[in-house]
Amino acid sequence: MSVKLVILGLLMEGNKHPYEIQQTINERQMKHYIKLASGSLYYAFDTLEKNQLVKVVDVIRETNRPEKTVYSITDAGREEFERLYFEQLLKKEHMHRPVYAALSFTSYVDQEKVASTLEKKIEETAAYLEKMQNLYQVKKVDHSIANLSIIMRTIMHLKVELTWFTHLLEAAKSNKLTEVDDGYFEDVEKIVDEF
């Protein structure tokens, strides 16, 4: 996701300083779908200001603390926000997953080790699914459908991924990962057809 879109979108809610933007991202659990280093955040603010998409409205000076520069979005920033919003909405999603690269070379490794690694992956995925389900329960009482749909899509994805990993684990345990079997995923196909 575009760092500029995140900053401009959060400034649409009101004036903020970069640290406040970072805190909002953390509080709203946006870190699960936005990769944002604090250094890139400050650089993005500088770029947005140079392009007159945001402007400084205040500098907070507290004793024993660094200054906090408060920004607001400009009219040009609102136009850019809208452009970025629709650009992001239409952006093609890439299905790059590290596991795909590994699976491409499965015939060169011990399938027992693959099985034990998949068991760990299943545990991690199940724990993340539980975390997202708990987050959904907390957020559903006061968040918009648009915001909840992000969490729900993650939950749906994780459920499908658990099913997929479970089938891979079964194949690894029975030494079938490198074999051809066109009927192996029939039950998964049925689940996918339900979507």
Higher pLDDT, residue 122 or 174: 122
Residue with tokens 């969490």: 151
Most confident stretch, 39-43, 70-74, 153-157, 181-185: 70-74
Residue 10 has a pLDDT of 93
Q: Secondary structure of the chain in the HEC alphabet?
A: CCHHHHHHHHHCCCCECHHHHHHHHHHCCHHHCCCCCHHHHHHHHHHHHHCCCEEEEEEECCCCCCCEEEEEECHHHHHHHHHHHHHHHHCCCCCCCHHHHHHCCHHHCCHHHHHHHHHHHHHHHHHHHHHHHHHHHHHCCCCCHHHHHHHHHHHHHHHHHHHHHHHHHHHHHCCCCCCCCCCCCHHHHHHHHHC
- Mind listing the pLDDT tens digit for each residue in 57-96? 998 888 787 888 999 999 999 999 999 999 988 888 776 7
Higher pLDDT, residue 43 or 35: 43
Predicted structure pTM score: 0.69
Q: Are 169 and 122 in contact (CB under 8 A)?
A: yes
Provide the token pair at 158: 């994780």
Residue 134 has a pLDDT of 92
Rounded to an integer, what distance in angstroms lies between the CA atom of residue 68 and that of residue 139?
Answer: 30
Average pLDDT over residues 39-54: 91
Residue 24 has a pLDDT of 87
C-alpha distances in Å from residue 37, one per residue of 19, 25, 144: 11, 11, 26
Average pLDDT over residues 26-53: 83
Query: Which band of pLDDT confidence, cut at 50, 70 and 90, is reported for residue 12?
Result: very high
Provide the token pair at 182: 């066109």
Rounded to an integer, what distance in angstroms lies between the CA atom of residue 77 and that of residue 142?
Answer: 28
Higher pLDDT, residue 98 or 96: 98
Residue 186 has a pLDDT of 76
Residue 195 has a pLDDT of 63
Mean pLDDT of the chain: 87
Residue with tokens 């603010």: 45
Is residue 53's pLDDT more than 90? yes
Is residue 188's pLDDT more than 80? no
C-alpha distances in Å from residue 177, one per residue of 36, 163, 170, 172, 183: 37, 16, 9, 5, 13
